[in-house]
Chain A
């Protein structure tokens, strides 16, 4: 699969497929079955599909009763109505009871922006993670959603599957195999760790790409001897950030580049040590002032923040104006 697809629509279609192999699968909805695509299951298996109207407390307890009688109960409604509203029914009747109730919730997060804040499910993951026996899964795309639903239907116990409304990019190829409870590395790299779930995985991938592009721009800008100010305007235009943030990024990243450049060129010349040189004016932070004149090695930077214990070479700390004077031994 490539392009975009909505996880809720794939979930609706997958339930129809699963209904073929699983005669005990029942789907319970709350008057949102067109939006959740649960109506596809209803059309395929009318006797195993139940609509109770928007009465989510009732729905969850009924799902529990059916599960206690050997059914695999899928409850399909919006995330806001799947969690906070019937929370007590989930708590006592499903999770403490460890019954086969699968909450397949759509329209999660703030992606329902225009509907206003009552429609934004932002507490749902926290609520569901607090319940004993409850497994929470937030698939990243349509490919994963289809595989997750199969696992959820076939494994015993309560599950919460958090799906989204819009069509979002498909990031997994057909060789993907979902593994319950395991994080999946979707991009290699060594500078930073970004952890994401659900549709934010794609956003995080885009952010990683943008950061990689930014790194190239910063380096090129600095290598050509341009100042950070010119870069700030470009960052502002390209990444849509505020003026102050753009100039902060430009200064900080240029400064970082310079620090790395000095370190690398010193090493190239066989220099391993430097003398810390601070500006010694009213803006110099005391921790940095205390380092002035002392000799350190690039490999073992000093503590530059006594509160956090962070270690850095000059120009690596936020807005640091100190310099590393190479020491030739």
Chain B
């Protein structure tokens, strides 16, 4: 898939889509904003750092949503540090790929990835949820690198259809990735959007569903049965994949397959564990929207490493 050349320039893949080029030796590419795509091992390391950011940010803020941030770490890491074509120094670069966090309460993982990418200083993460901070409790479009204002569930997939249609009209190679929660799929608008994306054959659009099995109050199976979830996406006309959302190689393979898929949008149902990486948060609905205490933070950081 990825074509490496010495110059770090944009080149074409077999699918005709320009991809981001790596420069051997780990130095910056000629296009100074484009970082070298990470290896799976590097992605594992960045995932660890994202987990540390998530628990630290929420603990410092005293509020926030650690559970659904931790479950999405490998997905977000794979996108920001391997798949997305983006320029942290030029957040409005028209050709960039779009990552849309529809479940915007999981913004700690996004802010971590944006800071690690260089959209804003790492120190700014400490301002999360504070008054006058750019890092609101739910992602907002005015923050550098944030593509959409969220917080009200169900709107991101439609928004992604908009960015994908605009890219098609302009003839840009932009791809759009939307991260949805599984509880979020209770929203009717998700299915309005699912129908529309298939109707318009938006093969540049990918929906990743963070299938962590928990929503705000309880387990999704208790609140509203979603299964058979993959069959639903298929029935709506999507190329649908099921993966382990914590296995970086599976995440990358699925994203690659989405890129290869023509005439259909791709849905990736990523089986995950809510609160992944912190024993007392794992699979625990209490840590959907609750920050760890000081003592819990110490334990969480120790477990994450």
Contacts and interface: CB of A to CB of B under 8 A. Distances in A.
A68 B159 contact: yes
A97 B169 contact: no
Given A52-B196, A58-B158, A61-B158, A69 B166 contact: yes
Interface stretch (A86-94, A118-126, A243-251): A86-94
A2 interface: no
Interface in A52-80: 52, 55, 57-71, 73
B113 interface: no
B149 A65 contact: no
The interface centre, meaning the residue of B98, B141, B166, B196 with most chain A CB atoms within 10 A of its CB, is B166
Given A71-B169, A92-B155, A62 B150 contact: no
A66 B165 CA distance: 7
B163 interface: yes
B162 A61 contact: yes
Contacts of A71: 162, 166, 169
Nearest to B188: A57
A145 B170 CA distance: 30
Interface string B144-182: 000111111011101111111111011000100000000
Nearest to A59: B158
B49 to A, nearest CB: 29
B166 A66 contact: yes
B196 A88 contact: no
B165 A62 contact: yes
Nearest to B190: A58
B149 A62 contact: no
A133 to B, nearest CB: 12
Interface residues of A, number: 30
Contacts of B159: 61-62, 64-65, 68, 93
Interface of A is mostly: helix
B163 to A, nearest CB: 5
The interface centre, meaning the residue of B152, B174, B188 with most chain A CB atoms within 10 A of its CB, is B152
A50 interface: yes
B192 A55 contact: yes
A48 B165 CA distance: 10
A47 interface: yes
A68 B163 contact: yes
Interface string B266-305: 0000000000000000000000000000000000000000
A68 B141 CA distance: 9
A237 interface: no
A63 B166 contact: no
A61 B155 contact: yes
A26 interface: yes
B70 interface: no
A67 B159 CA distance: 10
B94 interface: yes
A96 interface: yes
B193 interface: yes
B166 A65 contact: yes
Contact of A58 (B165, B167, B169, B192): B192
The interface centre, meaning the residue of A57, A68, A99 with most chain B CB atoms within 10 A of its CB, is A68
Contacts of B161: 58, 61-62, 65
A242 B163 CA distance: 58
Contacts of B94: 69-70
A64 B151 CA distance: 15
Interface string B88-105: 000000100010000000
Given A61-B159, A93-B148, A96-B149, A55 B165 contact: no
A290 B156 CA distance: 70
B216 interface: no
Nearest to A61: B158
B192 A88 contact: no
Contact of A88 (B152, B162, B164, B188): B152
A58 B166 contact: no
27 contacts: A26-B169, A57-B155, A57-B188, A58-B189, A59-B158, A61-B161, A62-B193, A63-B162, A64-B148, A64-B162, A65-B162, A65-B164, A66-B163, A67-B162, A68-B141, A68-B163, A69-B163, A69-B166, A70-B94, A70-B170, A89-B155, A91-B152, A92-B150, A92-B151, A92-B152, A93-B149, A93-B159
Interface of A: 26, 47-48, 50, 52, 55, 57-71, 73, 88-89, 91-93, 96-97, 99
Given A71-B162, A93-B148, A93-B159, 12 more contacts: A48-B169, A55-B195, A57-B158, A57-B189, A59-B158, A63-B162, A65-B159, A65-B164, A92-B150, A92-B152, A96-B149, A97-B149
